[in-house]
Structures are given as C-alpha cells and as structure tokens.
A and B are shown apart, each in its own frame.
Chain A
Amino acid sequence: MLRFVLTRLSLVVPTFVGITLLVFVLIRLIPGDPIETMAGERGIDPTRLAQLRKDYGFDQPVLVQYGLYLSRLVHGDLGRSIVTHEPVISEFRTLFPATIELSVCAILFALCLGLPAGIIAAVRRNSIFDHGVMGISLTGYSMPIFWWGLLLILLFSVQLGWTPVSGRIAVQYFIEPVTGFLLIDALLAGDFGAFRSALSHLVLPMIVLGTVPLAVIARMTRSAMLEVLGEDYIRTARAKGLPRFRVIAIHALRNALIPVVTVIGLQVGVLFTGAILTETIFSWPGVGKWLIEAINRRDYPVLQGGTLLIGTIVMIVNLLVDVTYGLINPRIRYTR
C-alpha cells in the first residue's frame, strides 16, 4: 500500500513542475509589454518603465525569471495583481470559499437527485422512468450551461421574481467572514435573514453548476447498479429471502458506489470549468469570475497564479481520489 501511495506521489511531482513551467511559459508568450499595458493609454516615461521592469524582474533572462518565479513560489509568493496591487494568494484566499461553497452545494444537489434517479432507473430497467432519466441526463450532459443559467434567470428571476439575478447576498446584510462560507457564517452570526438571502442567491447557480455532474452521476450510478445487480451474490441475497429494498440499498448500492465515488472525484476539473461560466453569468464573486476579469484586464500575475493554484488543487484532489480508490479496491493497487 505504501508503495502504491509513493508511486502515485512520485507521479505528482513532475506534473506539478510541468504545470509551473507551462503556466510560466504561456504567460511569457502573451504579446505586449505588461508594464506598458499597466500604464494604459497615458503612457509612461522611459526611466520609470525601466525601473518598473527591474522591480518586476522583467529585465532578466527568461531562465533566470523562471528560477526567480520558482523560488518565490516556494516561499508562497505568487506575485501581486497588476490592477489591485494585492498579493495574488490573498485575493485567491478571499474568493476561493465562494467557489467552494457553490461547488459543494452543486455536487450535493447532483448527488441528491442523481443517485436515486440512477438507482431507480437501474432497478426498473427499460421502464418509462429509465428512458426518461437517460434522456434527461443526456440532455443535461449536452447542456451549454451558460445558456441554461440565462434560461433559469429568465424564468425564475424575471418571470416569477422568486430569486435574485446575481451576486451572493443582498446588499443590506453584512456578515463578518469567519469561515468564508456565507451560509455557515450567517448561521454562526445567528442572522436568519442573511441566511435566507444567501440561500436564495445560491439556488440558481447551484442548479446550473450541478447540471452536468448530475447527468454524469445518474448515468454512472445506473450502469454501475446494472452491473452489480447481475451478480450472483445479489441473487443469493434475494433467494435467502431478504427484502428487495435491503438488497438494493445495502448489498448492491455499496459495491455500485465505488465507481460512482471515483467519478465524483474526477468531476473537480469539470466543476471548475463550470464554475468559470456560472460565476460569470451570476456575478458570483469566486475565483472563476476573478480569472475571466484578469484576462480582460491583462492581469498576468493573477492569471498565472490562479491557473497554478487551481491546477494544483485539481491535481491534489485527483491524487486523493486515486489513493482512496486504491484503499477501497485492492485490485487497483497491484496493477502496474
């Protein structure tokens, strides 16, 4: 087992170095001088330009710049935003909880609907319900979620007026950030009005972001359940007179969940792709919207640092999923 974990860990290091190199090189390739971009249309006098280029290290050879970048990285310094002059890492830290809150709720939403739908579809194979679930989930999987968000806004915010159009909480509430998760912070502060406001802001983005994972989870649960339900031990359990519900919910589901859990773990990258779009549509103040704004403002350090942090987080989550999978399923450990 230790060997398995070590092998997986050793694969992570080159990937991480690769990401740093990729991010560094890619950002260097962006046309235009970053200092001149920073100065904007007013222009900048040459001595000040030279000074700033020196300050930011842009006058060094590329290899030296990469070395400097790595050494700063090791010290937790991801540079400062060219626009706000705040350290990238601290901006990321303030915005990241919003993205996590949205993503976790989206995954929970997807699980609450996707698991039962997949199970029932498998148990009632080829029924109308089964075909319905499969049809809807393929539609969900094919959904351009940026459009889906606009549709939901059109229906629930504009037509029915049930939910707010954008943002994370109504302006009249101020909640002292403790955990950074507004739902939890509002409860901690005992402010139920704020909690309700945060919840109503969360519902639509949660549905939008959860749609693709929901489709994937429903399909995956169904196919995993179908496979397990055909096994001999299920027939044995039925034959010895266990109630149908118990066989499905305990005997079958437990084994069917293994591939489903893996798939959920691997949805992290997909979730982030979705978060970029969802946050843009709903003006949700998370890292996805932050990165899109950084692109539009040509704020390289933010783009560089944000991409690196997100790549690293996805990498670590994938590693954890891998190791957990190895723990649950010994067969994986011994291949290769």
Chain B
Amino acid sequence: MTAGVFKTPVVVAQASAPPHPLLEFWSYFKANFGAVAGLVVIVVLVLLALFADFVAPHSPILTNNTAFLKPPVWQQGGSIAYPLGTDAIGRDILSRLIHGARLSLLIGIAVVTLSVISGTILGLVAGFFRGVIEIAIMRLMDITLTLPSLLLAIVIVAILGPGLMNAMLAVAVVLLPHYVRITRAAVISEVSKDYVTAAKVAGAGRLRLMFKEVLPNCAAPLIVQATLGISTAILDAAALGFLGLGAQPPLPEWGTMLADAREFVLRAWWVVTLPGLAILVTVLAFNLLGDGLRDALDPKLKR
C-alpha cells in the first residue's frame, strides 16, 4: 500500500522530466511542414552533389557539336539522351545542373563557414572587450552594412579580379556584419548572467569564458542566421556569376549558366528557365529550413 503511494509520484516525475533538447527541438521542427520540405530538398541536393559523377548522364563540360540547343525530351526534337536538352554548344543541361548543385552547395557552405567563424570571433571580441576595440569593430561593420551588398561585393571582386574564389570571398565579407552583430548582442546579454559570474569566480580565463561558457549559449541565433546565410550566399554568388564577375565558364555554376543563356531567350526557353529554377528551389529550401529552425530554436515562441 505505502509502496504504491510512493511509486506513483516517481512515475509522474519521470513523465514530466524535460525531454532531451534535441528531441524537443525535433518535435517542434517536424510540426512545420515547410521546414521539413526544405530539409528534404536539401538532403536530395546534397546527395545529388555528392554523387554527381554517377548520377549525371554526361560530363558537364563535354560539348557535342551535333546537338546544339536541343529541346528537352518531352518537346518535339528532344531526345532521351539529353532529358533537359542541351545548351548552345551542345552540353547536357541536366548534367550541368547536377554538377552546379555541387558547386552551389559548396559555395554556400564555404562562404557561410568563413563568415560565421570570423564574424563570431569579431563579435566575441567586441562583446568582451568593450571600449575602443568594440567601437572600431562595430563602426567597420556599419560601413560594410551601409554599402548595398551587391555593390560592395562587386567592388571587392573588381579589386581581386573575377573568379569563383574571389566572388566567394566577397560574399563572405558582405555577410560578415550580421554574424558580428548577432554574436556581440548575444554576448552582451549573456555576460551579465549569474553563470558567467560563477565561472569567473571559479577562475575561468577569458578564452574559456568566451568559447566554453558564453558561445554555446549564443548558438541558436547563429545557427538560424547561418542557415539563412547559405541562401543569401548562393543567391549573391549566382548574381555575381550572372554579371560575369563570379564563376567563369565553363564551370557549371547556375548564375554563370544564366549569363551564357541570356542571348538565347528568344530561341531556347530551357537554357534560361532551368538554371534559375534550380537557384530558386535551393534558396527557397534553405530559407524554409532557416525559418523552421528559428521557430524551433526560439524559446520565446515555445508554448
């Protein structure tokens, strides 16, 4: 009898124990249809990118001078050898799109990684060492933010010279202020909290405070911003490619493909439509995922 009375509250306590943070996150995340759809698209794109060499029917740069501007398979004159048609010098569009996925994902991830790492460090420094250092860093970021992003990227590419690497670097610089600002704001609000004081009293050094105590607690907004940053990076890099300042032909970058296709607007809709559709779908997927992550990670929105 007493044992039974005793047992019940124990069971209740177990049931009300908070779920693992990851599980809790997942239960919020999977309720968001758009976010899950975005995730699925991204997984498919990643798989395509990883296995591009096996999936793509042709080489992305192999030209075929017997098949210029062939329409997709469902149109008259199309053939199953080139399911989405060919471009002006007889390259298979489908293969170029698949290899383009590899390039675009690589651009997005590399740019955001570079930007997040340097932005977080600058933001941590600005948040911890108030005063002149903070003012210097934040002013610099203000200047960067004042110039329209594409204009700044163009100026940087103009200095470094056109090319994929330089375009990526330019986009990373353009994205930088967002991460610096987010980290600094989060650091400032965290530093005054008790756990930081406790760690300080316990004798934690500055680096430990920065990276082990404060940074993990600033991670949520950074993760969200990084996901959204990938979509911006892909979009901006494609825009630079389109302007002839990013990836250079024959690289199958989607923006560069569009630039090549511009003059065929009148004759071949598929060379113009498909690369842009690929950009749109990818960017949309990352934006959906970012929105879903924000909703799932933002404690203010949790019931």
Contacts and interface: CB of A to CB of B under 8 A. Distances in A.
A291 B154 contact: yes
A307 B155 contact: yes
B123 interface: no
| Category for how many chain B residues contact A | 35 or more
**Chain A contact residues, majority secondary structure:** helix
Contacts of A14: 139
Contacts of B231: 142
Given A29-B159, A150-B272, A15 B146 contact: yes
B159 A26 contact: yes
A64 interface: no
A307 to B, nearest CB: 6
Contacts of B243: 276-277, 280, 292
Interface stretch (A120-128, A151-159, A177-185, A202-210): A151-159
Contacts of A138: 34, 284, 287-288, 291
Nearest to A271: B148
Given A18-B139, A150-B276, A153-B265, A303 B155 contact: yes
Interface string B263-303: 00110010011011101100110011001000000000000
Nearest to B234: A144
A97 interface: no
Interface string B140-161: 1011011111110011101101
B239 A307 contact: no
Interface in B241-265: 242-245, 255, 258, 262, 265
Given A26-B156, A142-B284, A154-B269, A276 B143 contact: no
A269 B276 contact: no
B158 A30 contact: yes
B126 interface: no
B288 to A, nearest CB: 7
B167 interface: no
Interface in B176-207: none
B235 interface: yes
A31 B162 CA distance: 12
A144 B279 contact: yes
A153 B149 CA distance: 26
Interface in A112-163: 135, 138-139, 141-144, 146-148, 150-151, 153-154, 158
28 contacts: A14-B139, A15-B146, A18-B139, A18-B142, A19-B143, A23-B155, A26-B156, A29-B159, A139-B284, A142-B280, A142-B284, A146-B238, A146-B239, A146-B276, A147-B275, A147-B280, A151-B272, A154-B272, A158-B265, A270-B148, A276-B151, A292-B243, A295-B154, A296-B244, A307-B151, A311-B151, A314-B148, A318-B146
Interface of A: 11, 14-15, 18-19, 22-23, 26-27, 29-31, 135, 138-139, 141-144, 146-148, 150-151, 153-154, 158, 269-270, 272-273, 276-277, 280, 291-292, 295-296, 303, 307, 310-311, 314-315, 318
Interface of B: 34, 139-140, 142-143, 145-151, 154-156, 158-159, 161, 231, 235, 238-239, 242-245, 255, 258, 262, 265-266, 269, 272-273, 275-277, 279-280, 283-284, 287-288, 291
5 residue pairs, one from A and one from B, having the closest CB atoms? A147-B276, A273-B150, A272-B148, A142-B283, A142-B284
